[in-house]
Amino acid sequence: MDFSEIVKSRRAASFFDPSKPVPQETLKRLVEMAAQTPSSFNFQPWSLVALENSEDKARLRKLAMDQPKITDAPLVLLVLGDRDAWKKGSEPFETNFDKMVEAGMPKEQYGWLADTAAKLYGQSEEAQQAFACKNAGFFAMSLMYAAKSLGLESHPMDGFDHDAVKKEFHIPDNYWIPLLIAVGYFDRSKEYPKAKWRKSFEDLVVAFS
């Protein structure tokens, strides 16, 4: 599907057809498309928890303002941002370094990479949170475009009790959950959402003096 068409037609869908599951191969294709997302030093500091069974979705719905789309959608993704993936010694850091060396980076750059990442992401809680959420934001946006390109609808959601969801699904402390995404096929008995207002070019491009 043409990207300009996706941009024009993608909406946060509120009505999913509960009778149409997302086939496993479609889920795989969705995730593999989004896996190509760029990230800071290629750390890919993101993971997904995929909820597909009714009980799991019901547990989530209770902690997410009782939103019906959570149980209507056949698939709900918890998007996780890893706040520690830049740290020397962490699994993501070490795996990424090994892969960089395989691709031709001299091993001697280990210290440079570790120090640079620590300087950029480790100097404050703010920087660490920005690292996790910005990158997970890239990944989530890719998932939403990829969903549309595969004929699926998606709905990004912030309306949930962050700490309670973390606890309920045993998410380790290094992760932040920047959003949930409901994914599925649109319920064709409902009206597809209209485009919402968006900022103009003039609103968006600013300068300060």
Span from 15-23, 106-114, 135-143, 184-192 in contact with a second copy (CB under 8 A)? 135-143
Query: Are the C-beta atoms of 182 and 155 separated by less than 8 Å?
Result: yes
Residue bearing tokens 């290094």: 174
Identify residues 159-198 at the interface with a second copy (CB under 8 A). Answer: 159, 162, 169-172, 176, 178-179, 194, 196-198
For residue 125 the two structure tokens come to 């809680």
Of the residues 18, 20, 26, 33, which one makes contact with a second copy according to CB under 8 A = 33
Which of the ranges 14-22, 25-33, 66-74, 107-115 carries the binding residues for a second copy, by CB under 8 A?
Answer: 25-33
Q: What residues are paired with 207 via a beta bridge?
A: none
Dihedral (CA of 170, 174, 178, 184) sign: negative
β-strand pairing of 46-51 with 75-82: antiparallel
How far apart are alpha carbons 33 and 27 in whole angstroms?
Answer: 10
79, 51 Cβ separation under 8 angstroms:
no
145 binds a second copy (CB under 8 A): yes
Question: Which tokens sit at 10?
Answer: 């993608």
In the list 108, 125, 173, 191, the residue contacting a second copy (rule: CB under 8 A) is 125
Residue 99 lies near a second copy (rule: CB under 8 A): yes
Identify residues 60-79 at the interface with a second copy (CB under 8 A). Answer: none
User: Among 14-22, 107-115, 132-140, 183-191, which window interacts with a second copy (CB under 8 A)?
Assistant: 132-140
Binding positions for a second copy, 42-61, rule CB under 8 A: 42, 44, 46-50
Which residues is 9 bridged to in the sheet?
A: none
Instruction: Pick between residue 57 and residue 148 the one whose CB is nearest to a second copy.
Output: 148
Q: Which is nearer to a second copy, 19 or 119 (CB)?
A: 119
**Euclidean distance between CA atoms 86 and 97, whole angstroms:** 11
